[in-house]
Amino acid sequence: MLIAGFPAGSWGTNCYVVATGQGAECIVIDPGQDAAAGVDQVVRENKLKPVAVLLTHGHIDHMFSVLPVCGSYDATAWIHPDDRHLLSDPMAGISPESARMLLGGNHTFAEPDDVAELKDGLTVELAGLQFAVDHTPGHTRGSVTFTTPYDGPEDVPAVLFSGDVLFAGSIGRTDLPGGDHPAMLHTLATKILPMRDEIVVLPGHGGQTTIGREKATNPYLQDLEISK
């Protein structure tokens, strides 16, 4: 599997381009502010063809460039219905300081021509890849994570694209519109803690980690117990 990730924009949001290998179709995860140029570079260097954009949630720092990326490659945008309204009205989900930062800018937001909705338990099969979708509310109502299959080669661990649910040493904030701290704790206990330790976590911000490392060291997971 080819995974190319880079931080984009003033928020440093990680954008990922994922494919089975060079010269293949690919998917783009969370194209944030100024991510279009980075996506184009990865696509050109690896001779890829984007067919879909997967959004872990609807916050502006994760979907800022969804319209130009989808438009450039005629790709479908995938998002959970609880966050779909943020595609055309991202100001509904951001903090006052972020809103002030964007004031005066000439930014237009709208849904891409083709939008598909994600749901809990869905398996998305795109570009020769599979992703298990988990609805993981707390950071936003429509937050989701994407996990690659567990049954790949033994030397290739599964990968969790965690968005802003889980970071190395921390979790996503819950004080923005749509945030819900009890829901986040429920998500962590029911979705994250049951995962296998060897799963590699590629978060929405910061460096990669593993589920095992976060279970052992992340203070937000220390007092939680696995629940169903």
pLDDT of residue 223: 78
- Nearest CA to 50 out of 59, 40, 35 is that of 40
Round to whole Å and give the CA distance between 7 and 127: 23
List for the chain the helix, strand, coil content (%; round to 5).
Answer: 25, 25, 45
Specify whether the CB–CB gap between 80 and 57 falls below 8 A.
yes
Copy the structure tokens of residue 206: 């910061």
DSSP β-bridge partners for residue 79: 117
Tell me the pLDDT band of 58, cut-offs 50, 70 and 90: very high
| Average confidence (pLDDT) over 11-36 | 96
At which residue do the structure tokens 């979790």 appear? 171
**Please, what is the end-to-end C-alpha distance for the chain in angstroms?**
31
| Average confidence (pLDDT) over 177-197 | 95
Specify whether the CB–CB gap between 8 and 35 falls below 8 A.
yes
pTM to 2 decimals? 0.92
Min mean pLDDT across 142-146, 147-151, 191-195 is at: 147-151
Q: Which residues are CB-contacts of 96 (< 8 A; sequence separation ≥ 6)?
A: none
Tell me the pLDDT band of 200, cut-offs 50, 70 and 90: very high
Tell me the pLDDT band of 96, cut-offs 50, 70 and 90: low
Copy the structure tokens of residue 219: 């203070």
Round to whole Å and give the CA distance between 170 and 88: 29
Our measurement of the distance from residue 2's CA atom to the centroid of its chain's CA atoms, rounded to an integer in Å, reads 17
Min mean pLDDT across 16-30, 56-70, 148-162 is at: 148-162
Identity at 216, one-letter amino acid code: A
% of the chain with per-residue pLDDT over 70: 91
Specify whether the CB–CB gap between 204 and 164 falls below 8 A.
yes
pLDDT of residue 107: 67
DSSP H/E element including 214 = helix 211-217
Choose between 204 and 157: higher pLDDT. Answer: 204
166-167 vs 144-147, strand pairing mode: unpaired
| Average confidence (pLDDT) over 71-94 | 91
Choose between 55 and 96: higher pLDDT. Answer: 55
DSSP β-bridge partners for residue 178: none
